[in-house]
């Protein structure tokens, strides 16, 4: 239930590429819940969580994008000093290596999205639950 299907999409580093991507999603009534752009010199990666990942993947592929699912999980934290530290500490204690993380806000709470090594996924989620942290349920994002 904690596995969120994040879409990783390859886009070339040229004008209009990102708007092509967002346009395809919006015209197909897909809502972007979170988005992160990572860039290299001549290409970029979009990591996004949407309300209907299966549909989004299919229509993006129909429109010539290369899309891959990556399993990630989200952790809710309060906007107070030390809350993010708690999350990281819990993962660190369990020897979980974080591949990347990004965050966004919903009202006054923050949600941090984490990517970890595949075989450490369940262990990571468990370590957070054990530390009494709130791991977001995937259905939180989905329609």
| List of residues contacting other proteins (CB under 8 A) | 8-12, 38-40, 42-43, 45, 47, 64-68, 70, 99, 115
Q: CB of residue 55 vs other proteins: minimum separation in angstroms? A: 17
Q: CB of residue 100 vs other proteins: minimum separation in angstroms? A: 9
Pick the closer one to other proteins by CB: 57 or 77. 57
| Calpha distance 6→99 (Å, rounded) | 14
Q: CB of residue 81 vs other proteins: minimum separation in angstroms? A: 31
CB contact at 8 A, 69 and 7 = yes
Pick the closer one to other proteins by CB: 19 or 99. 99
| Calpha distance 3→122 (Å, rounded) | 9
CB contact at 8 A, 75 and 89 = no
List the beta strands (DSSP E) in 1-143. 4-12, 32-39, 43-50, 66-78, 98-106, 109-116, 134-135
Q: CB of residue 142 vs other proteins: minimum separation in angstroms? A: 20
Q: Characterize the bridge pairing of strands 32-39 and 43-50.
A: antiparallel
């Amino acid at each position: 239930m904690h596995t969120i299907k994040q879409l990783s999409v390859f886009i070339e580093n040229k004008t209009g590429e990102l708007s092509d991507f967002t346009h395809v999603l919006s015209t197909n009534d897909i809502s972007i819940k979170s988005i992160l752009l990572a860039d290299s010199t001549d290409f970029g990666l979009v990591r996004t969580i949407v309300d209907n990942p299966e549909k989004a993947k299919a229509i993006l592929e129909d429109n010539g994008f290369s899309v891959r699912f990556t399993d990630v999980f989200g952790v809710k934290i309060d906007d107070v000093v030390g809350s993010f530290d708690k999350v990281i500490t819990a993962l660190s204690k369990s020897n979980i290596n974080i591949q990347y993380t990004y965050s966004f806000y919903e009202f006054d709470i923050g949600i941090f999205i984490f990517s970890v090594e595949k075989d450490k996924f369940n262990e990571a989620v468990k370590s957070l639950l054990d530390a009494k942290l709130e791991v977001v349920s995937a259905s939180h994002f989905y329609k």
